Amino acid sequence: MHTSPILLSSIFLFCGITASASEKEAIQKETFIFAIEQGDTLRLDKYAVGKADKARPVVLFAFGGGFRGGDRARDSYVSFFHALAEEGYVVVSTDYRTTLSSLTQSPANAQAFVPLLQSAIATATADFYRATRFVVEHSDAWQIDPARIVACGSSAGAITVLQAEYERCRENDAARLLLPEGFHYAGVISFAGAIASAGPLAWEQTPCPLLLFHGDADRIVPYEKAVADGIGLWGSYAICQTLDQTDTPHTFYSVNQAGHEIADRPMADNRPEILAFLARLWSEKPLRLRHIQETTEGEAAEPANYTLEDYIKANL
């Protein structure tokens, strides 16, 4: 049978594409139990591409869900994890206990809600420390570099990772007892996060470099602050003000007229900026202070007079 040159070319081209695709290693997912706390079994998922010839950096991720629930393997997260894994990162997505899920009705006022929120954040932060320790303890087996672990989170998860770094810098008991001795996060990436504090933020040690994304019309997590009697949540804008005062390296993407979609959108739309931030963490070039304004078309932003009552209404 005679085979035409065109058909032969097509066959060779198809074989070439198939071979090229097969050479690309698949992303492997493994699930581990890292703690059992008060009857709750806490798991984490590790995403990585095959074996490595040197220790790799880690992105340790905490999901969103208002401390009432959430899913560490949500589809939009997994797409982001795969993108990072393909760039050579080991991504670990972790559980934490969501204690506000036990509320059967909203608190009567902000004063009643504050201790519940503080407890939920403290619990999530402690569990994030436990996950961090588990990752560090598996450094050799997972071929990772424990000095290059970056904390990353969305919404409530962003609050958790920011709180984890804030309390580490203040040598909080949970940080001191649960983190490996001398441990430091290499960086923090926050998608619409905040820090809980009784009074204005005060870093007792210099934090690691931070990459913050937040919409200035966010009605779920405050862009600036939500405070009652000096106690509450201090959002990305307030965090950056404290970092500016001490010339602490950070990058802040402030998105005009954007709401809480910034808890997710940068994972798809800002991957180049995220990868650039990660690359700068271990480059010889010093990190700088960078404030970047982006604009979302649509209605004008609501006034920034956000209160803890607003947080209660939006999240409970």
What is the rounded CA–CA span in Å between residue 59 and residue 38?
Answer: 27
Q: Tell which residue, 83, 219, 71, has the closest CA to residue 154.
A: 71
Rounded to whole angstroms, the Cα distance separating 268 from 255 reads 15
Q: What percent of the chain has pLDDT over 70?
A: 85
33-69 pLDDT per residue, tens: 999 999 999 999 999 998 888 999 999 999 999 999 9
Question: Residue 300 — very low, low, confident or very high, per pLDDT cuts 50/70/90?
Answer: low
Could you report the per-residue pLDDT of 202-248, keeping only the tens digit for each? 999 999 999 999 999 999 999 999 988 888 999 999 999 999 998 89
Quick one: pLDDT at residue 84? 98
Reported as a pLDDT band with limits 50, 70 and 90, residue 169 is very high
For 233: left if phi > 0, alpha if psi spans -120 to 50, otherwise beta; the answer is beta
Q: Specify the pLDDT at position 23.
A: 52
Show me where the domains of the chain are located.
26-315
pLDDT of residue 301: 52
pLDDT for the residue numbered 302: 56
**Per CATH, which fold does 26-315 belong to?**
Rossmann fold (3.40.50)
A 10 A CB-CB count for 231 gives 17
**More confident site: 282 or 235:** 235
- pLDDT of 18 reads 39
